[in-house]
Amino acid sequence: MSDPVVSPAVSVGKVALRSPLIIASGTWPHEQDYWKDPRCSFVGAACTKALTLHPREGNPGTRLWETPCGLLNSIGLQNPGIDVFLGEDLPKISSGDIGVIANVAMEAAEETAEVLQRLSLYDHLLLAVELNISCPNVDAGGMAWGADPVMAAKAVELARHHWEGPLWVKLTPQCVNIRDVATAAEAAGADALVVANTWLGMAIDPLSERPVFSRRFAGLSGPAIFPLALRLVWEVSSAVQIPVIGCGGISRTEDVLSMMLAGASAVAIGTAHFTELSCFRSIGRELLEHLAAKGYSSPMDLIGKGKEEHGRIP
């Protein structure tokens, strides 16, 4: 018998990707050379930096701080604003082979609605919108939209009203019960869920004896959070019927396999490519080798297979 022909292509709902490897939001420059780099031949899509209605300068002071097994970041949603993105960045980055997913920061409802309305005029250049509901709701005392199922549903309903294309919702781990938030987002019209954003952490500089970051707390990413993200992917994919994209600490082929076995249809990789840009190529090749050795024809054969003896979480 001949070896099976393995295709890396996957589908996340109606979104077709040439591979399950996605570049996570906030980690990839809006520069044409990066989006056409041959080392990204196994990348299925890339998320933009968070987009807001008006330009954002970001947080002052230190923005990145390495930890023994990860990275703390406090960028502050720095971006040039939606008009500059649409007029200058999108034409450049959409001209290559990597599909574009627009990450939209869910802040004030009216501003987010305006961003989505403007994006809808360019929907032919976008695979999907990724709605980041980890942002604070400035109209409700600053609590993150994704911290509460009711607020999460309102955010998704607003986005669904102004954006007709595929809508992915990026969840925050900073919530009481992520399964409740996930099911609320699904009921409100989300087409897929990205699980999850960074965990809040902190660093204090022993020399200055002060917090490293101006906003004190920062988002932790990198290998340290992988087991935490994996658990959330298992829980969320057991609670909803829509696809889940695993995100958090993925740096090896084994991590991709684990995420998909736990129920992810694709994965988003961010911090890992800061140290090794060719990680997408090496992970992609090793993934195909693993699938062929196991007799699979597609990464989609793995989705949720790790749950077969466990069933749905009660």
Catalytic machinery residues: 135
Give the C-alpha separation, 200 to 213, whole Å: 12
Residues paired with 11 in a beta bridge: 16
Give the full edge-to-edge strand order of the sheet including 199-202: 64-67, 70-73, 217-221, 199-202
Count Cα atoms within 13 angstroms, Cβ side, for 53. Answer: 12
Q: What is the DSSP string of 147-166?
A: GSHHHHHHHHHHHHHH--S-
Q: How are beta strands 64-67 and 70-73 bridged, if at all?
A: antiparallel
In degrees, to the nearest 5, what angle opens at C-alpha 276 toward C-alphas 274 and 280?
Answer: 105
Question: How far lies 7's CA from each of 12, 46, 68, 263, in Å?
Answer: 15, 19, 36, 19
